[in-house]
Amino acid sequence: MSLDHAILGFLRERPMSGYDLKTMCFDGRAAHFWTADQAQVYRTLDRLESRALVRSRTERQRSRPDRKIYSITDAGTSELDRWLRETPPPPPLRDPFLIRLRFADSLPSEDLIGLLRERRGALQTRLEALRERAAGGAHTATTPDRAALLERLTLDAAMADTRATIDWLDDSIELIEAESEQARELPPGTQRRLFAPPTAAEGAKR
Amino acid sequence: MSLDHAILGFLRERPMSGYDLKTMCFDGRAAHFWTADQAQVYRTLDRLESRALVRSRTERQRSRPDRKIYSITDAGTSELDRWLRETPPPPPLRDPFLIRLRFADSLPSEDLIGLLRERRGALQTRLEALRERAAGGAHTATTPDRAALLERLTLDAAMADTRATIDWLDDSIELIEAESEQARELPPGTQRRLFAPPTAAEGAKR
DNA sequence: CACAAGTATATGACGAGACATATATGTTAT
DNA sequence: ATAACATATATGTCTCGTCATATACTTGTG
């Protein structure tokens, strides 16, 4: 259902072809909060048209394949506005990386830390890409344009999320390093232990 | 694939039935990073057994339905350890709420802000639940147990993520309020504008 | 006594999403 | 020349995940 409304949203801004939606939107402006497969975009457009939420006209091009330009209908606009007011509960968090981490106690400490550092690197790269997009973005906080502000906020969300995860990884690496030090000092059997704060990271925020 | 390995991970800790996996793990200890439908758990166990990664024995109970207790095989343990070392790129972010936000410029400011506040409330509730779980958790940062530490880190991840999103929502609400003030002062046509920092929130962190 | 809830496993049906492949044409690079 | 690439749409197929439903026994509640 999400993809349906994402497409309605983009088509309300301007009519577009499936190709445009895929390349400009789901591989571009929306890539940091929603992606979509090409096949899925076309099939969703079909379905939306059959429900009369969008309509299409074929645009003939010289020396190019025809384009099917979709535009939103009044019914589509109503449906979008109705959907915008819904407040479904946030979906449960699901992160495959946390599955890996949760069961990685069978790995040597070095490998485990390597795993976390690798992930950190990937997220750092992602964060830099997001920052570049934000810098080049339309709404550099001066346009009194609601849509541009909201687009900017979606980028902020992605950046906030990525940065928080990086910080968590840094804290986690430290904790694991401290714990593996400790294990070296106190070989199995010796069950005395050093003090460590409540896994740090968890200050008295909010 | 993720569910396969989550199940292998839990079964490596101790043999369990599908019912246990569903109620204790995917509705309990793992719920903050992975969930699974009951039907999917049983079907995945079937598949893992047919691949000889787990085996089952039927435990007869008096005055209760039989239980099929699954345990991990050597092949299962190898597969889990192999998988643990994989470093796939982080999956693209996907957040249905951000679709809604992105296209919510057709809503009146009050409704838009209501949407954000509602979400904030839901996340605050989630955060409190996570904090309780963390407080009651096994690893209160004193056990020198790698598995308990890693379990704790997954909770930290969920809390960090949730808190970051709440902070972002607070910043966003402020920005939208500021913008809608501004719009009231400068009715359409009047294209002068007030100063606003680069959507705040984006300090010079990291 | 009826009914709901807890324990326990299983199947049918469907939608969402990913991947591969097919088709057609023109331009650009090797 | 030929291959690769960009433009443009479409279909087949598969996995993952969700929802509904079926079965069967027991305990607790009204």
Answer yes or no: is A17 CB < 7 A from strand D.
yes
Name the percent of chain A lying above pLDDT 90: 77
pLDDT at A92 over 50: yes
Name the residue with higher pLDDT: B170 or A206.
B170
Q: What 8-state DSSP symbol labels residue A93?
A: P
Q: Do A206 and B123 touch (CB under 8 A)?
A: no
Q: Give the ipTM.
A: 0.89
Answer yes or no: is A65 CB < 7 A from strand D.
yes
| pLDDT grade for B193, boundaries at 50, 70 and 90 | very low
pLDDT of residue B85: 97
Q: Select from A156, A163, A190 the residue whose CB has the most chain B CBs within 10 Å, as the one to mutate to test that interface.
A: A156
B9: nearest CA in chain A? A103
pLDDT at B121 over 90: yes
Work out whether the CA dihedral A150, A155, A159, A165 comes out positive or negative.
Answer: positive
Q: What's the Å distance between residue A4 CA and nucleotide C10 C1'?
A: 34
pLDDT at B139 over 50: yes
Q: What is the mean pLDDT of residues B84-98?
A: 97
- Read off φ and ψ for residue A65, nearest 5 degrees: -65, 155
pLDDT at A141 over 60: no
Answer yes or no: is B38 CB < 7 A from strand D.
yes
Structure tokens at A173: 């690496």
Our CA dihedral for B43, B48, B54, B59, rounded to 10 degrees, sits at 20
CA A198 to centroid of chain Cα atoms: 30
Name the residue closest to the C1' of D24 by its CA: B65
CB of B95 closer than 8 Å to CB of A157:
yes
pLDDT at B72 over 60: yes
B19-62 pLDDT, tens digit per residue, is: 999 999 999 999 999 999 999 999 999 999 999 999 999 988 87
Return the minimum-mean-pLDDT range out of A28-32, A202-206, B103-107, B163-167.
A202-206
| Strand C nucleotides where any atom sits below 7 Å of a protein CB | 6-13, 15-21, 24-27
pLDDT at A206 over 70: no
| pLDDT grade for B195, boundaries at 50, 70 and 90 | very low
pLDDT of residue B26: 97
| pLDDT grade for B198, boundaries at 50, 70 and 90 | low
Residues 6 or more apart whose CB falls under 8 angstroms from that of A205 comprise B163
pLDDT of residue B62: 74
Answer yes or no: is A2 CB < 7 A from strand C.
yes
Q: What is the layout of strands, in order, in the sheet containing A67-72?
A: A16-17, A67-72, A54-59
Rounded Cα–Cα distance for residues B137 and A55 (Å):
55
Name the residue with higher pLDDT: A2 or A144.
A2
How many residue contacts between A and B have a Cβ separation below 8 Å? 260
A174-190 pLDDT, tens digit per residue, is: 999 998 887 767 665 55
Closest nucleotide to the alpha carbon of B46, via C1': C10
Structure tokens at B17: 């039935």
pLDDT at A45 over 90: yes
Structure tokens at B74: 């050597």
pLDDT of residue A189: 53
Structure tokens at A45: 């457009």
Query: Given B115, B141, B153, which is nearest A101 (Cβ)?
Result: B153
B166: nearest CA in chain A? A206
Q: What's the Å distance between residue B17 CA and nucleotide C2 C1'?
A: 32
A78-91 pLDDT, tens digit per residue, is: 999 999 999 999 99
pLDDT of residue A198: 53
CB of A104 closer than 8 Å to CB of B150:
yes
pLDDT of residue A194: 44
Query: Given B33, B153, B182, which is nearest A93 (Cβ)?
Result: B33
By CB atoms closer than 10 A (0-12, 13-18, 19+), residue A35 is middle
Q: Do B80 and A106 touch (CB under 8 A)?
A: yes
Rounded Cα–Cα distance for residues B6 and A98 (Å):
10
Answer yes or no: is A99 CB < 7 A from strand D.
no
Q: What's the Å distance between residue A102 CA and nucleotide C10 C1'?
A: 30
pLDDT of residue B192: 43
Please give, one letter per residue, the 3-state secondary structure of chain B.
CHHHHHHHHHHHHCCEEHHHHHHHHHHHHCCCCCCCCHHHHHHHHHHHHHCCCEEEEEECCCCCCCEEEEEECHHHHHHHHHHHCCCCCCCCCCCHHHHHHHCHHHCCHHHHHHHHHHHHHHHHHHHHHHHHHHHHCCCCCCCCCHHHHHHHHHHHHHHHHHHHHHHHHHHHHHHHHHHHHHHHHCCCCCCCCCCCCCCCCCCCCC
Q: What is the mean pLDDT of residues B174-186?
A: 82
| pLDDT grade for B205, boundaries at 50, 70 and 90 | low
B83 contacts in A (CB within 8 Å)? 100
- Read off φ and ψ for residue A7, nearest 5 degrees: -65, -45
A86: nearest CA in chain B? B115
Name the residue with higher pLDDT: B190 or A52.
A52
B140-164 pLDDT, tens digit per residue, is: 556 668 999 999 999 999 999 999 9
